[in-house]
Amino acid sequence: MKLVLAFYGTRGDVEPGIAVGRELMRRGHDVLMAVPPDLIGSAQAVGLTAVAYGPDTQSWLENTRDFWGYFFRNFWRIRDVRKYLEESRSPGMRAWAPMTTTLASVAGGADLLVTGVSYEELVFDVAEYCDVPLATVIWYPMRVNGKLLPFLPEPVVRVAMKAGELLIWRGVKKEVGKARRELGLPPATGPVPGRIAARELLEIQAYDDALFPGLAEEWEQWGDQRPFVGTLTLELATEEDSDVMSWVADGTPPICFGFGSIPVESPADMIRMIAGACAQVGERALVCAGWTDFSDVPEFDHVKVVGAVNYATVFPACRAVVHHGGAGTTAAGLRAGVPTLVLYMADVQMIWGAAVKKLEVGASRRFSAATEKTLVKDLRTILAPQYRTRARELGARMIRPAESATTAAGLLEDFARREWVG
């Protein structure tokens, strides 16, 4: 079969697509990835063919960080927040038409088109235009449910999520309308989640249902349409792994810090905060740089700064993990059976922070509100024995990534073979 996988966003957004794409390729299918230009290498590294789809990810990451920092400090200033959001999203809106053209040029004749969370509306329209079945891969419960934010009453969460869908639709409606006119399609009837549900398209939930107790039961009405497969990740070894594990073995298990693709605004201040807090709790620190430049920061004997590492190798050797709350990083820490502190920078990351807090396997705090004092307090909380015990118990119940990829690939194959009615 010919399968086209269109995944846009940060490394965490794109890796689930690459992971399932690799498994589909292993099964003998013709797989083409459409990914941001600066992530083409990640797809090619596992043998996949890839085309550039949208602008470089790193061109808008700082804008995203700054918007969410502004939002959490000024959320009651609705007009100002809306203006800031429109400004931060304008590069993505400008990319809508060329991304539509790119995807339409490669999706024709495919047996299946698969997309992630970002630009769902765009990919839905291309699938309709090319008369190709569409499946989505989603790595947090973004469809309306009552379990997303466990600290709020379920009816309130459902109303808020429904309002969120309408707000997103309002923000992209103009671009969707233009794209559909250019593709010769009739006007869209509303938010894309409703259109996906109405067509009974496959919506793979690429996370463990154990992280959102009660969600599977709430979604029983959807039957096989929203299967839970666990986190899709590559778990690739890196050049740093051997050196890191040697350093770990030379002392006490460290606390691992990592902040993913979104660059930290002041790396030097961050290192000083980490070093000070870890000194107070008597722990070593391993800092994974991600896409932040830590080349010009103070050095401390009990702090080691590294580039990319394989979380599946490193996390199990750590006392705890502290990170931004990305879906893949959160799952890797929980699979390792170690407590988690989420210092979230954006909305979806806050959801994962709320989840680990509800499960009592970790704590959560807004990144911009973190200080050395709060970090000490949060570390002491998650280093308590009961957190480690609960984290181990949860980790033992989570789905392994190899099984996740196998299950997801099988679901996509079966869905592509179904008779498709456009």
Q: What is the pLDDT of residue 68?
A: 46
Q: What is the pLDDT of residue 93?
A: 73
Q: What is the pLDDT of residue 62?
A: 54
Q: In angstroms, what is the C-alpha Rg of the chain? A: 21
Is the pTM above the cut of 0.75?
yes
Chain centre distance of CA 340:
16
What are the percentages of helix, strand and coil residues in the chain, rounded to 5?
Answer: 55, 15, 35
Regions in the chain scoring below 70 on pLDDT: 58-92, 261-263, 291, 419-422
Q: What is the pLDDT of residue 405?
A: 97
Closest CA to 377 of 386, 390, 364: 364
In 42-65, which positions are buried (b, 16+ CB within 10 angstroms) versus exposed (e)?
bbeeeebebbebbbebeebbebbb
What does the block give as tokens for 114?
């698969």
Distance from C-alpha of 51 to C-alpha of 43, rounded to nearest angstrom = 10
Encode 139-154 in three state secondary structure.
Answer: CCCCCCCCCCCCCCCH
Distance from C-alpha of 114 to C-alpha of 404, rounded to nearest angstrom = 16
Q: What is the pLDDT of residue 347?
A: 75
Distance from C-alpha of 261 to C-alpha of 3, rounded to nearest angstrom = 27
Q: What is the pLDDT of residue 135?
A: 98
Q: What is the pLDDT of residue 139?
A: 93
